Structure 1
Amino acid sequence: MPKRNKVNRTWNSEGGGREGKKYYEHDDRVNDNIRRVSFKPGSNRIGNPRSGELDMAIRASIADDDVDMSTPGSSGRGSGRFNPYFGRGRFVGRGGRTSCRSSGNRRRPGRGSPPVPSQFSQKNGPDNTVSWFKVTIPYGGKYSKDYILKTLLASVAPTIFIPLRYEVRGSDSSFFVDDYNAAEKLTSISKKITTFKGFKLLVKVRPGLPHVEIDSTMKEKIKAAMIKRFNVNLKALDLSRFHTDPDLMDSYAVALFRPAMMLAVLDIVVENAPDLAALDLSDNKLYSLDNLSVLSTKLPSLRVLYIGRNRIRDIHQLDCLEGLRLEDLMLDGNPLCDKYQDQNVYVSEVRKRFPKVLKLDGVDLPPPILFDVNEDLQLPKSKGNYLCTEEGLNMVRQFLEQFYQLYDSDKREQLANAYHNDAMFSITSTYPPGQSSTTTSKLVNYITDSRNLLRVKDNGRRQKLLYQGKLAIIACLSKLPKTHHYPHTFVVDLTLFTPQLIMVSLTGLFLEPGPTRNEPLRSFNRVLVIVPYGEGYCIINEELFVTNATDEQSKAVVRTLPPAVMSPPTPAPTPVPVAVSPQAAFTDDIMKQQMVEGFAVQSGMNVRWARKCLEDSNWNFQQAVSVFTELNKKGTIPPEAFMK
């Protein structure tokens, strides 16, 4: 019985013999009767719409069927071949019709078959799925790298491509390209090139990315490549088409659209150039910017960002970069730019996210209209006191000095002459944020009479807490705790000064002396409306607010208080004297009196000798302490200095 496959069967089954007598190094024909691994269909098989798809996928995987990149002009004989990249579970059947059925005896395309559609049709999935392509040359390992690449480049000209990560495994060679058009062109020349050995060159192309393991060696290589791309003078780093860097392309695939790779690169940038001012990430096939959200915190000095010629589709993808204070932004070449026909709308959308952009896509923009304070300008320094006019300086100083000498005494009733007969007075009090009566000094003596309109809703009580007339006011002040004010903490604002009316706002700290050492420190604010009366002035309206001092205020007042007299002199800095300026001149006499009283208490001397010691020391408290300590050790201070 004759054999099924005759020995003298020609390469061209349609006749003509071995035309041209061209022999090939390998035979990639598919015999019609070659058995394929498949699940045996049975009559009781459960119908599964995905069974055919799974069957064909397994076959394609075992047979190593790469993506067929045949051009529409290609032809073949027999039914269409399953292509896992061209619609799931579908194959082109005889006559170009599609079917979802699997076929266990499907014929390989041959001459006379209907055209097979191009497998590089655009997909709706993420662009990175078709960004890179693996090009495999069976038996390419038998030729030099230089010969293979030069031959391919000459065959696809004028199209050019950059071979990435060229390697040889066994008898095959492979490399990657990142260009769709180049990949399609390489497919079209498969079996059309005759090598110098007389064999046809087979070119297989399929979508794919190389496996990359980010280790310390790779990071060092990346860092070395960055150094060559870094401009020290401009503090600018050029990472455009970084995967094609000559120092990386042969051994590594540094594809920045891969999240892990982008984060690794950014870590190197932040570690070595934290003050980076300009970064170019153009032409890296970025389809997402989420990994760049760290730029606003890790690179706060970044002002120039180029992300053009990538695959950013929507303006909202820039939202993750809003924290950057960009002045120059490049977006040109991204799909999102095609969505805007009106340039003004485009600029407006960008400035919603980066309001200080002055250059967009290489075009200078008009200065933006901003309502925030220019970050380069410094606010004027705050002043301790404010005087609307210098004319009121002496009057306010004398008035407050006399007022607090009486207020801190045991005879507050003498303040009656400081108030108008029809004067009105109210007090409010509350605890600072984070404090309460259970954790700090209680304010019950003030809260009882507090006329806080947000808390006191009853009109009758509101009226009762508004003290009217000098007698009612003095009675209220007399029942408040004793006080000891610190004039050096006073901040005075003279907001109005006319012959008919004067308004003064005073803020400061005072101590409530008591039998225990835990004397509460209070903060206060007094607003006084003063009018001329007879030959002097009197208060017609007053509002007093009292609360506990904050921790910062307590620490500040301790730093500015005179140090203990008996402590030995040390080289520690001397207390900063209160600056005598026109605004603060009215506190000078009170401050001196305060220093005398404090020096007298701590040294044990009487007020007269304490003042004499301070005057001889030119009111330098530290010098007075040093002199007193030295003379007291020698016993040269007369006994009458300690007599009170």
Structure 2
Amino acid sequence: MSFSRQIAQINSVTRNSGNGSSYNSGSNSNYNRSKEDFKAKVISDYHHSRKVSVKQKSRNSRYRVDNRNRGDHDDRDDDDGHGRRAGAKDISKRLGNRDKGKKKHWTDGRVDRRNYAQIDMDEVLYEDETGSDWMRIKMTIPRSESDRPLLFKDEMMKLFHQKIPNFADKDPHCEFENIMFFIPSATAIDVFRHMLDVVKDTKPDNVPPAKWIKLEKMAARTPISARFEVIPNALDTLSEVLGKRYNVSDNSVDLSSFASDTRLNESGMKMNLKNSEDFALLVRVMKNFPIDNISGLNLASNMLRNLQQLVPLLEKTPKITKLNVSGNQLIRNWTDLRYVEEWALEELDIRDTQLAKLVQGRNNLKLSKEARKIFKNLKKFNGRELVASFDLDTSVDKVEKKKPTTQTYDSCLPLNEQLEGPLIKFVTDYISAYDNNREDLFKCYGANALFTLSVGRGVDLSPYRKHQRSIVDHRHLNNSDVEKYRTCHPNTIKRKRLGILACLSELPKTSHDLSSCFLDVTLEVPTIIGFTLTGTFKEPDNGKCRFFSRHILASFTDNTFVINHDQLFIRDSSYSERDLHGKKQPVLPNPRGGAAAEPPADKDAMVKKFMDNSGMVENYSKMCLEQNDWNFNRAAEKFMELKSAGQLPADAWQPGRAP
């Protein structure tokens, strides 16, 4: 209803009420006062409605009169065609106000006046508005390489130098779980693009991109090594300062308050060890000094967060027994000190640190137990003696000792030296036929041979999984709804030659490298020999590397081997296995006969065991052992020699055991 129509209705009601005789003078005065108040309220709301939106006005209106300016027509008197009077909601729909509750974006209505045809997208993505001459590169260390961050850093830097032209980096170092280094801003766009390509090429096939290396770049100040390059004799000055900080009396190095060193500050070479690149540069310089015999290191009051930058110095300084990190307020917990747990520390000072406040108030016994979880030989902590250590700590948090380095042994060959040549030739011919023409494998299998295939972990092994005999369903590792165990189909057991060859022909093409494979004889009896062939192969079609283990039971007849049972296991190769593919590993000699069990000390039991293994009767078995001085292994070799030559008489065999 319009404003003028509302005022007209008020006046009409007032006139009609004034003509009636039922109202006395007092009531008329009260009514007139109420009329004037209502009229003033209508006028006030009318002016207010011109400043607020329709939505706000309809929500805040103090009366149920439609005071929107729609002319002199009262829309509320209209009928909607169903005997109902149209309300405000129906009127809004009829007027087309359908987007009344839609939230608008702040960019609606704005005009983009940029000319994208003239914009270089590389400059848009990598533009640097700070004007810095250097860019700081942050490269994450994948979880698979977290146990060797320094070696991984050296490998990646070497790859970048080999594959990226004009690659110039400064101050590469590890910082937490990242590798940091600097590159010039002038070539940052091209270099960063090449770095992304190198990272993509080095990603293993079984690792998703989200779990591999990530690269970030940001503007940075000039790296410390670049600043030192323009300072005359900077290295000599730093060497002089380090020489003065060496204490001959107790054979220690004092690096406390290094940022306040007067000599360095006067030369414009201030080094704040709080910055990881400054600390890393200092460690690289110290490695060139003869510090193999130092026994103490003082790093007090340097605002250090942790001791990660000292890791490259651990191998160079194995005799350090005293460490002072007091005054470094940012050292918060024992994890910040674990980087130097290889040092056999006897004295440790962490006063005036957050870690010292954390352990404050603990008794000597509890403090000793907690500190020796990392430093087992610790005797003095924060200047006071700890309780004696008896190395009886059996807590679950006890640091494990380093595992001894595993040694690789050569293949375990058969006891009978005469079988060594035919066995190696058979394996070589079998692998050659498997890689080139698998139809030639027909003669390698027996008439009633069996073949099974098991598949391990991996994401790109679908060509193998449809033939697998594995009981464990590897899908349950990523999906809780999948059962852990699966029911194997009977057809996964391939029987006889044609069935085996049909299955092998469906598997991907392979290229084995026998120089990195191992052949171990696990069973050797007169009629059957069992051996395991392990190693890696590549698929020429996609270049993927797989690990395999093949266990074969074969019979030796007519100077040749025939496979009776073949079990093949395939999975994705690990990083180390992939690196060793095609390389001859350094191995230790394996004594011949390692697969055979030691003969029993009792002669009667030895004769019985020889009868079971050889198939000969008791007299011939005992004779063979006596002639070889009761040496079980030597008697077995002699037996295989006579059997191969066909010199054993017919009465030497047990019933049904004759070849």
Aligning the two structures, in what range does the TM-score lie when normalised by the shorter sequence?
0.3 to 0.5
Provide TM-score, normalisation by structure 2.
0.36
**TM-score (normalised: structure 1):** 0.37
Would you tell me which structure has more helix in proportion to its own residues? 2
Larger-gyration structure (1/2): 1
